[in-house]
């Protein structure tokens, strides 16, 4: 049976929650670990460890999840151009936004927008909080690790023989 980490101090959890709430309120901003640690009043290393223990994911992955959720909502609910959505949700490059979005959701932003709009009428009666929870990206591993695994699978897959 794996050893369970000791429960965290309630005061520390409140301070971690303060940092998490700040990320939620302004996910488009840059949130390096040093800034989050300052908000929480702990060291950078302690913040990163404690955040992952408390919320199950590292701070960067949590922020990435929130940005993808926000971008998905804007794609579904607005007519904003994809470039504008990328910048509003915190990306500095359209290419990085598109690649990361595709890696996380499995679809490009424009493909997802089309699919969500087609299904929009059916979801009109479902509460927004349920729609958000159901469409929350699954980021149990880092995006770079996901990318690496795909490239290893592609390299190791046998190529079909040509038929003449």
pLDDT tens digits, one per residue of 123-163:
666 776 776 676 666 666 666 666 667 766 665 655 555 55
State residue 88's pLDDT score: 95
pLDDT of residue 25: 94
- pTM > 0.85: yes or no: no
What confidence score (pLDDT) does residue 4 get? Answer: 64
pLDDT of residue 126: 72
Phi-psi region of 43 (alpha: psi -120 to 50; beta: other; left: phi over 0): beta
Task: Centre a 10 Å sphere on the Cβ of residue 142 and count the other Cβ atoms it contains.
Answer: 14
Give the side-chain half-sphere CA count within 13 A for 129. 0
- Among the four given CATH numbers 1.10.3470, 3.30.70, 1.10.3210, 1.10.10, the one describing domain 57-148: 1.10.10
Length of the chain, please?
A: 164
Nearest 5°: the CA angle 10, 15, 18 is 125
Q: Mean of the pLDDT values across residues 63-91? A: 94
Work out the average pLDDT over 82-96: 95
Secondary structure letter of residue 9 according to DSSP: P
Each domain of the chain, given as residue ranges in start order, spans 9-56, 57-148
Q: What is the pLDDT of residue 162?
A: 54
pLDDT of residue 45: 93
């Amino acid at each position: 049976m794996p050893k369970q980490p000791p429960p965290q101090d309630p005061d520390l959890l409140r301070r971690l929650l303060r940092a998490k709430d700040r990320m939620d309120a302004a996910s488009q901003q840059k949130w390096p670990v040093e800034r989050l640690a300052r908000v929480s009043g702990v060291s950078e290393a302690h913040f990163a460890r404690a955040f992952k223990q408390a919320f199950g994911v590292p701070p960067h992955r949590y922020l990435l999840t929130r940005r993808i959720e926000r971008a998905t909502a804007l794609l579904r609910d607005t007519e904003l151009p994809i470039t504008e959505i990328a910048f509003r949700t915190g990306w500095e490059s359209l290419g990085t936004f598109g690649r990361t979005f595709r890696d996380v959701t499995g679809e490009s932003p424009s493909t997802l927008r089309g699919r969500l709009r087609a299904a929009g009428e059916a979801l009109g009666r479902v509460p927004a909080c349920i729609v958000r929870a159901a469409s929350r990206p699954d980021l149990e591993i880092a995006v770079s690790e996901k990318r690496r695994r795909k490239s290893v699978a592609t390299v190791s897959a046998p190529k079909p023989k040509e038929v003449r």
